[in-house]
Every structure is written in C-alpha cells, then in structure tokens.
C-alpha cells in the first residue's frame, strides 16, 4: 500500500497494529523517494507518510531483506510517468513471491521485462485492465493441517491445492517426504497420514513462512534437525526465532540458534502456556504441536484471524479437542 499510495498526488498516512509498526520500511521508502515520490517514516518503521506522483527512474534494493519491497515497486511501477528500472543487490530470497507478482500483473494486462534470476526489471508506463481469475488454494494455511495430520491424525486429505503452484510453501510436501512422512499428492489435492518422522536439514530462505510449522514438525522427530536461512525471520509479525525458542522451551524442547541456523532436538512435549506474540503462524504452529501434548494453552489465540480465521474450528472438526476460554 505504501508503493500504491506513492502513485497518487494525495498525502497518505499508513499505520497499523503494534506488530506492523515494528516492520522495517526504510529501504522501500528510500527507493520510492528515488523514483520521485515523497516518503517518510518513523525511524525506518511505520507509520509512513507518502505522496506521489511516482515519476520513474532507476533504483537499487537489497534482495535479502524482503521480497515484498520488490513486489511493491513492481506493482506501482506501471503507473509511473516514465520508465522504472529496479535492480536487486545480491541474491533475491523468496523469489517465488516476486514471480507470482509478475504472473498476476500479466493476468491484468501489465508486462514487465525481467532477467532470468529476477534481479533486474524494466517497466514501462502501462494501465492495468480488468480480468477474471480463480485464486488458488492456500499452501501456507494448508501446511499446518498437513503437519497436524502427519504427527497426530489418521488420514487427512486437503482438496483444492495446485500441485504445480508457484507458491513457495508447496515445499512442505517435499520436506515431509524427506522426514519419511506418508504423504502423497496429485494435481489438486494432498493426503497425509500419521507418521514417525525423521530429523531433517532444511533451508527456508525461499519459503520463510514455513519456519514455524517446520519447528513443530522437527520437535516431534526423534533426533536433531537443523533449519537454515532464518535470518529474515526476526523481522516478521514477531521475531519468529525468539517466539519459537520461547514456546518450544515451555514445552521442554531444546533449541539452539546462530545468526542463520536454528537447531531443534526432538523429544516428548510437555504441558505449556504459549504466548504467540500476536503472530498467527506462531499460534497455529503450537496449535499443531498441542495435538501431541496433554494440554497446551495459547493466549491471544484469535490472532490466527490474520490469515486463517477458521483454524481452530477446522482443527476441532478434524477431531482435535479445542476449548475456548
């Protein structure tokens, strides 16, 4: 929205809840300023004041902070007065999300020139056109149910998932297979069965949203698992490394972290009270892990409403004992 607002001649202020106000926007604000908009923030965080128009030009932006910056610039670029060139410094992490942005722009009549590794883009002034499309099923939300089916279910089938989707969280199936889970999929569905999981080494730099559910899975595996590519997870809705460390410790699961690596020693989980720090994915991850535990209390459980409002009722419909206080 910061980038879209930069395409208008009006003064806009963008703010939000406590977790949003901790998210960094400095690099995006600088890039928009270099493209001709006026954009200021509170020491690099929202609230953001922004005013266009977007004139055009060339900008450079880091590829290892947030792919959302690149997507934001791409969405706004066609409405700039002149050509916009976007150059990504270093490796673009979570590249699939940027590719999904380009695909969606194409659906609405906008064409972007990009190199093969998506580190250089050139966008001419264009107009978005109306279109009809069908939105795919959400792999991010489904990952939690697949994890639940794997560690505590009988046989769970999820329909409406595109097996060839560009969504990076589709990688959950590959991870489960590497953990020796009984999971199989076809063109539009996935089936998971309760399995004894093996420890795994996995890189989540291109699928960072899988980190919380991966922690839940690794906590149940008999052995030591290693998750790499975690550096950016400290600037999500919460510091997800800190939140998962805290919650897993409450459940008697040992962990260890470095700048870019998180190690989990799987074992038997214990009764616990979990604070998800207003983070929907943290709450859902511990909801899944709670399926194997005598009792887990998750405070602020309604934070799942950000992405999956019916998560608790869906768990209940699948046989989980869920009680709201």
What pTM was computed for the model? 0.89
155 with 110, same domain: the answer is no
In a domain, 133, yes or no: no
48 with 160, same domain: the answer is no
User: CA-CA distances (angstroms) from residue 175 to 168, 181, 210, 258, 263?
Assistant: 12, 9, 10, 22, 16
The SS3 of residue 179 is coil
Q: What residues of the chain score a pLDDT lower than 50? A: none
112 with 181, same domain: the answer is no
| Active-site residue, selected from the candidate residues 117, 186, 188, 209 | 209
103 with 145, same domain: the answer is no
Q: Which residues of 202-236 are buried (b: 16+ CB within 10 A; e: fewer)?
A: bebbbbbbbbbbbbbbbbbbeeebebebbbbbeeb
Q: Are 166 and 99 in contact (CB under 8 A)?
A: yes
173 with 78, same domain: the answer is no
Give 222's Cβ-side CA count (13 Å radius): 5
In a domain, 264, yes or no: yes
Task: Please confirm, yes or no, whether 103 is among the known catalytic residues.
Answer: no
200 with 244, same domain: the answer is yes
**Number of domains within the chain:** 2
Q: The domain containing residue 298 runs over which residues?
A: 139-317
75 with 42, same domain: the answer is yes
Residue 125, pLDDT score: 97
| C-alpha 324, offset from chain centre | 26
Radius of gyration of the chain (CA): 21
Which pLDDT tens digit goes with each residue over 34-93? 999 999 998 899 999 999 999 999 999 999 888 999 999 999 999 999 999 999 998 898
Which pLDDT tens digit goes with each residue over 169-202? 999 999 999 999 999 988 888 999 999 999 999 9
Burial class (CB in 10 A: 0-12, 13-18, 19+), 134: exposed
272 with 165, same domain: the answer is yes
Residue 185, pLDDT score: 86
CATH for 221:
3.65.10.10
Q: Report the C-alpha gap between 265 and 300 in whole angstroms.
A: 27
Residue 177, pLDDT score: 97
Q: Report the C-alpha gap between 93 and 107 in whole angstroms.
A: 24
In a domain, 210, yes or no: yes
In a domain, 322, yes or no: no
What DSSP element (H or E) covers 58? strand 57-62
145 with 264, same domain: the answer is yes
279 with 210, same domain: the answer is yes
């Amino acid at each position: 929205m910061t980038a879209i607002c930069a395409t208008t001649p009006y003064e806009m202020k963008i703010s939000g809840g406590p977790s949003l106000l901790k998210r960094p926007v400095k690099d995006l604000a600088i890039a928009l300023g270099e493209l001709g908009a006026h954009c200021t923030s509170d020491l690099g965080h929202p609230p953001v004041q922004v005013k266009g128009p977007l004139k055009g030009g060339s900008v450079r932006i880091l590829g290892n902070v947030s792919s959302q910056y690149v997507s934001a610039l791409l969405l706004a670029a066609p409405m700039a007065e002149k050509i916009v060139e976007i150059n990504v410094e270093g490796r673009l992490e979570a590249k699939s999300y940027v590719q999904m942005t380009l695909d969606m722009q194409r659906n609405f009549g906008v064409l972007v020139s990009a190199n093969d590794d998506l580190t250089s883009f050139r966008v001419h002034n264009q107009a978005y056109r109306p279109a009809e499309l069908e939105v795919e099923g959400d792999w991010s939300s489904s990952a939690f149910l697949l994890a639940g089916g794997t560690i505590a279910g009988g046989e769970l089938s999820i329909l409406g998932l595109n097996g060839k989707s560009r969504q990076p969280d589709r990688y959950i199936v590959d991870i489960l297979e590497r953990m020796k889970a009984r999971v199989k999929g076809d063109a539009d569905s996935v089936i998971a069965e309760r399995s004894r999981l093996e420890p795994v080494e996995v890189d989540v730099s291109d699928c960072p949203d899988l980190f919380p559910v991966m922690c839940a899975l690794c906590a149940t595996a008999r052995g030591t698992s290693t998750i790499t590519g975690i550096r950016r997870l400290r600037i999500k809705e919460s510091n997800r490394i800190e939140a998962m460390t805290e919650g897993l410790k409450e459940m008697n699961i040992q962990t260890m972290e470095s700048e870019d690596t998180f190690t989990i020693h799987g074992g038997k989980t214990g009764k616990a009270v979990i604070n998800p720090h207003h983070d929907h994915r943290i709450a859902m991850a511990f909801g899944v892990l709670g399926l194997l535990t005598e009792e887990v209390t998750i405070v602020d459980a309604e934070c799942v409403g950000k992405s999956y409002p019916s998560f608790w009722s869906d768990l209940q419909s699948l046989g989980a004992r869920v009680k709201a206080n």
